[in-house]
Amino acid sequence: MTVPNTDRDLWQKTLAGDSAAWQLLVKRYQSLVYAVATRAGLSMADAADCFQQTWVALYENRHRIQDPTRLSAWLVTTAKREAMRLRRRTLPDTGGEAEIDHPDRSPLPDEELNQIEQQAHLEMALAELDPRCRQVVELFFFAPERQSYDEIAASLGMAMNSLGPVRRRCLERLKKILRKNGVI
């Protein structure tokens, strides 16, 4: 199995003019940028603009980005700014008083953006796991809160007593990937 490129590897290749590396970066983070664009309350046409402009900005600023391990944060911030710009363009001018009445009109609080970014990192790491582990770990993180280990084991067709060791082993692999990606 080939080891997937880290963001740093892909970024260096992109800077060297490797368009295939750029394509991998876009594929890796497209769902993250899409999530920011669509949760900002934009129309689909504006969300498409926001999505495209974010990638254009990244490409145009590629020589200014100093820390490629922070690409996801850069993308989230840029997509949010672009979404806010598009929203300002379409919202009626409410005047100064309305601004005072509603100081935070941002539909994307930092907490939510942070959660989207973490989710993107987790999903990227999940994609590197083998299918069995991916299934187990996915349920560990994403299943509804009240879903018990019994129910998770049943949905996986596993005996309850074998879920524990499998889960631990898979979480261990996940942590390794997250460490390699500089997420934990």
Partner 1 sequence: MDRHLHREELIALARKLQRSANQHLSECAECREEVELLRKFNMAGHSRLQDAPAGWVERAALLAQKHHSLEKIRKAVAALVFDSWAATQPIGVRGQASIGERRLRFEADRFTFDLRAERLPGEWAFVAQVTTESLPPGNFALSAGKKELTADTAGFFQWTADRPPRRILLRSDDTEIEIPELSWKKNRPR
Note the residues at the interface with partner 1 (CB under 8 A): 14, 17, 19, 22-23, 26-27, 30-35, 38, 48, 51-52, 55-56, 59, 115-116, 118-123, 140-149, 152, 164, 168, 171, 174-175, 184
**Residue 89 token pair:** 């363009």
Minimum CB separation from partner 1 for residue 104, in Å? 23
Q: Which is nearer to partner 1, 81 or 134 (CB)?
A: 134
Q: Which is nearer to partner 1, 12 or 119 (CB)?
A: 119
In the DSSP assignment, the letter for residue 68 is: G
**Residue 15 token pair:** 């800077």
Q: Which residues of 125-162 are buried (b: 16+ CB within 10 A; e: fewer)?
A: bbebbeeebbbbbebbeeeeeeeeeeebbeebebeeee
Minimum CB separation from partner 1 for residue 87, in Å? 19
Residues 43, 48, 53, 58: is their CA dihedral positive or negative? positive
Q: Which is nearer to partner 1, 69 or 94 (CB)?
A: 69
Instruction: Answer whether 60's CB lies under 8 Å from 128's CB.
Output: no
A 10 A CB-CB count for 12 gives 14
The kind and range of the H/E element at 99 are helix 95-101
A 10 A CB-CB count for 93 gives 7
Minimum CB separation from partner 1 for residue 111, in Å? 12
Q: Which is nearer to partner 1, 94 or 148 (CB)?
A: 148
Minimum CB separation from partner 1 for residue 66, in Å? 20
Minimum CB separation from partner 1 for residue 34, in Å? 4
Q: Which is nearer to partner 1, 87 or 163 (CB)?
A: 163
